[in-house]
């Protein structure tokens, strides 16, 4: 008899515990939405991003977020294949320069209506990165990070030449004067010296010239303009102001030898890759990624300033940006939009991108989170300041890449002095407009 009662007691206690535990759990959502998020990150960025995604998942139990990672080198092939096979993730993080070609294939959702209906403050986003995702007047994505090109300079080289380091007030003429003094041959003579030997240059003053087709700010700063229409599918290279700019750069590189006609190929420096990062040039325009790379290598004493003032007193520079888009074939557009908003929220950006130092958030409220006084360069505010006026690379449609490949030799000939600026500009304009016509 006692045994039976013990059994019943045990059962009752067990039932009570079970009911208690069931009451203790939060109510599980009746439908959990599975969202696929596709990103292309380096392992270091993933190390910040994955924990952030996990806490985002915990904060939103109604979502099941599946993170799909892809190496940056293969991202284009993957997205093209997924687009063709209709297996794009719900939310995709894109490198900005390739965004336009897929936007124009109607691969993504138009976000303007949703943005207006939401509490999102578009003014908090810098206008340059936003432009990357605009087409036909509406927004097709939102940027999360941006990296403007600023002037990097080698402090040791300036010290050795006895020159004052660049400041935020420098113009292109200041740069030209300094670059000539900083271009040194084997015997230590600089480019303005009568005994200078252009065949044995060891160090260049300026890392580049006008050596490929995308360097629109270099022309704008000197008073010219390349784009003849809004999305730059019609270009002009032969206006007087642009020709003047072309001649300015050609004389810097071909006549004064103070710039490189092959700044990335390595035929002049002997090493491939950016000449400034390789320690062969005293100054150059580079992006935020160079900060991480230079600090990792640790052998260059460098700092940054804002891009030089142009002839009209304004500054011009390019930026590269990354951002999120929602696939047009997603089954859960509302949940995807909610996820996207979370991913571009100021807190998320500061915590995942700014503070770890991977990239500069594209929102004014948290852009300075990327500034870390603990490591060089000293003048990091210049990078954040440049976001105010930096513009995206243009043209940015698919055939722009083809124009680049087809005109690369023309630019180089012009910078070497083998082709006159007029002739080079004429041929480049003809090629560019013929190929860009496809995207008009």
Partner 1 sequence: MKRPRIRFWPATAEARRGRLARRRECWFYLLISPWLVGLILFQSGPILGALLLSFIHWPLPQAPRFVGLAQLGALVADRLFWRALANSVYYAAGSIAPSMALGLALALAFRPERRATHLLRAVVFLPVILPGVATAFVWGWMFNPRYGAINALLAAVGVRGPGWLFDEAWAMPALILMSLWSAGSSMLVYLAALRSVPAELYEAAALDGAGRWSAFRHITWPLLSPATSLLLTINMIAAMQVFTPTYALTRGGPNNATLTLPLCTYFNAFVWGRLGYASAQALALFALILGLTLLQMRVSRGKVFYMGGEG
Partner 2 sequence: MARRRGLGRFGLRRGARDAACLALAVPFALPLFWLVSTAFRPAAAVYASPQQWLPGSITLSNLREAWRLLDFPLFLRNSLLVTGLTMLGSLSSSSLVGYAFALLPGRGKGTLFSLLLATTMVPASVTLIPVFILFSTLGWVDTYLPLIVPACCGSPFLVLIFRQFFRALPAELFECAELDGCSPLAAYWHVALPLSRPALAMAAVFSFAGAWNDFLGPLIYLNTSDRFTLSLGLAFFQGLHYSQLHYLLPLCLVALLPVVALFLLAQRYVMNGILAMGVRD
Q: Is 418 in the site for partner 1 (CB under 8 A)?
A: no
Which residue is associated with the tokens 């209906």? 117
Angstrom distance (rounded) from CA 39 to CA 48: 13
62, 68, 77, 423: which one contacts partner 1 (CB under 8 A)? 77
Query: Can you tell me whether residue 203 is helix, strand or coil?
Result: strand
Segment interacting with partner 2, rule: CB under 8 A, options 24-32, 66-74, 330-338, 357-365 = 66-74
User: N- to C-terminal Cα distance for the chain?
Assistant: 92
Q: Is 207 in the site for partner 1 (CB under 8 A)?
A: no
Between 279 and 377, CB nearer to partner 2? 279
What does 161 interact with, of partner 2, partner 1, none (CB < 5 to 8 A by kind)? Answer: none
Question: Beta strands 150-154 and 184-185: pairing type?
Answer: unpaired
Q: Is 287 in the site for partner 2 (CB under 8 A)?
A: yes
Angstrom distance (rounded) from CA 157 to CA 27: 65
What does 298 interact with, of partner 2, partner 1, none (CB < 5 to 8 A by kind)? Answer: partner 2
Angstrom distance (rounded) from CA 324 to CA 164: 42
8, 13, 271, 378: which one contacts partner 2 (CB under 8 A)? 271
47, 113, 156, 437: which one contacts partner 2 (CB under 8 A)? 47
Residues in binding contact with partner 1, number by CB under 8 A: 24
What does 95 interact with, of partner 1, partner 2, none (CB < 5 to 8 A by kind)? Answer: partner 2
Residues 202-230, buried b or exposed e (16+ Cβ, 10 A)? ebbbbbbbbbbbbbbbbbbbbbbebbeee
Between 36 and 176, CB nearer to partner 2? 36
Output the DSSP codes for 72-96.
GGGHHHHHHHHHHHT---SEEEEEH
Quick one: tokens of 378?
Answer: 């000293």
Angstrom distance (rounded) from CA 389 to CA 387: 6
207, 211, 286, 412: which one contacts partner 1 (CB under 8 A)? 412
273, 333, 346, 417: which one contacts partner 2 (CB under 8 A)? 273
66, 165, 311, 342: which one contacts partner 2 (CB under 8 A)? 66
Angstrom distance (rounded) from CA 325 to CA 91: 6
Q: Is 69 in the site for partner 2 (CB under 8 A)?
A: yes
Q: How far is the CB of 6 from partner 2 (least distance, A)?
A: 48
Q: Is 233 in the site for partner 1 (CB under 8 A)?
A: no
Q: Is 84 in the site for partner 2 (CB under 8 A)?
A: yes
Site for partner 1 in 261-280 (CB under 8 A): 262, 265-267, 270-272
Task: Give, for 130, the enclosing helix (H) or strand (E).
Answer: helix 127-131
- Judge whether 142 and 134 are in contact, CB under 8 Å: no
402, 420, 422, 427: which one contacts partner 1 (CB under 8 A)? 402
What does 32 interact with, of partner 2, partner 1, none (CB < 5 to 8 A by kind)? Answer: none
Angstrom distance (rounded) from CA 194 to CA 332: 70
Segment interacting with partner 1, rule: CB under 8 A, options 60-68, 310-318, 394-402, 422-430 = 394-402
What does 68 interact with, of partner 2, partner 1, none (CB < 5 to 8 A by kind)? Answer: partner 2
Note the residue count of the chain.
440
398, 416, 422, 433: which one contacts partner 1 (CB under 8 A)? 398
Residue 139: CA atoms inside 13 Å, Cβ hemisphere, count?
Answer: 19
- Judge whether 212 and 410 are in contact, CB under 8 Å: no
- Judge whether 407 and 393 are in contact, CB under 8 Å: no
Q: Is 334 in the site for partner 1 (CB under 8 A)?
A: no
399, 415, 425, 429: which one contacts partner 1 (CB under 8 A)? 399
Query: Can you tell me whether residue 361 is helix, strand or coil?
Result: strand
Residues in binding contact with partner 2, number by CB under 8 A: 38
Q: Which residues contact 389 (CB under 8 A, 6 or more apart)?
A: 128, 314, 315, 316, 317
Residues forming the site for partner 2 (CB under 8 A): 36, 42-44, 46-47, 66-74, 77-78, 80-81, 84-87, 95, 270-271, 273, 277-279, 287, 289-290, 293, 296-299
Residues forming the site for partner 1 (CB under 8 A): 76-77, 80, 101, 104-106, 262, 265-267, 270-272, 398-399, 401-402, 405-406, 408-409, 412, 438
């Amino acid at each position: 008899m006692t045994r039976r009662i013990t059994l019943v007691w045990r059962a009752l206690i067990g039932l009570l515990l079970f009911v208690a535990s069931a009451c203790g759990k939060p109510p599980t959502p009746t439908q959990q939405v599975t969202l696929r998020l596709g990103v292309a990150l380096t392992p270091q960025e993933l190390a910040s991003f994955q924990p952030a995604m996990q806490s985002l998942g915990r904060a939103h139990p109604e979502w099941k977020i599946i993170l799909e990672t892809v190496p940056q080198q293969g991202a284009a092939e993957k997205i093209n294949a997924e687009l063709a096979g209709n297996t794009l993730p719900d939310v995709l993080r894109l490198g900005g320069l390739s965004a336009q070609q897929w936007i124009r294939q109607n691969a993504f959702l138009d976000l303007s209506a949703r943005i207006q209906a939401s509490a999102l403050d578009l003014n908090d986003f810098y206008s340059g990165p936003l432009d990357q995702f605009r087409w036909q007047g509406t927004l097709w994505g939102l940027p999360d990070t941006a990296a403007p090109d600023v002037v990097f300079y080698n402090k040791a080289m300036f010290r050795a030449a006895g020159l004052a380091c660049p400041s935020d007030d420098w113009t292109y003429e200041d740069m030209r004067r300094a670059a000539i003094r900083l271009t040194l041959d084997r015997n230590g003579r600089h480019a303005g010296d009568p005994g200078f030997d252009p065949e044995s240059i060891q160090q260049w003053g300026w890392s580049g010239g006008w050596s490929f087709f995308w360097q629109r700010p270099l022309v704008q700063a000197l008073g010219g303009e390349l784009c003849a229409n809004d999305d730059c599918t019609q270009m002009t290279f032969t206006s007087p102001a642009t020709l003047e700019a072309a001649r300015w750069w050609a004389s810097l590189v071909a006549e004064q030898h103070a710039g490189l006609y092959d700044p990335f190929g390595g035929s002049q420096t002997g090493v491939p890759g950016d000449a400034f990062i390789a320690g062969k040039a005293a100054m150059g325009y580079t992006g935020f990624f160079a900060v991480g790379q230079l600090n990792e290598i640790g052998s260059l004493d460098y700092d940054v300033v804002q891009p030089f003032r142009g002839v009209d007193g304004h500054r011009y520079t390019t930026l590269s940006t990354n951002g999120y888009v929602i696939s047009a074939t997603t089954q859960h557009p509302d949940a995807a939009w909610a996820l996207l908003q979370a991913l571009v929220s100021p807190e998320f950006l500061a915590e995942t991108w700014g503070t770890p130092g991977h990239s500069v958030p594209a929102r004014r409220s948290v852009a300075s989170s990327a500034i870390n006084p603990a490591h060089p360069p000293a003048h990091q505010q210049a990078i954040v300041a440049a976001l105010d006026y930096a513009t995206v690379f243009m043209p940015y449609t698919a055939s722009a890449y083809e124009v680049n490949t087809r005109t690369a030799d023309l630019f180089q000939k012009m910078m070497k002095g083998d082709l006159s600026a007029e002739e080079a500009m004429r041929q480049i304009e003809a090629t560019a407009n013929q190929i860009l016509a496809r995207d008009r």
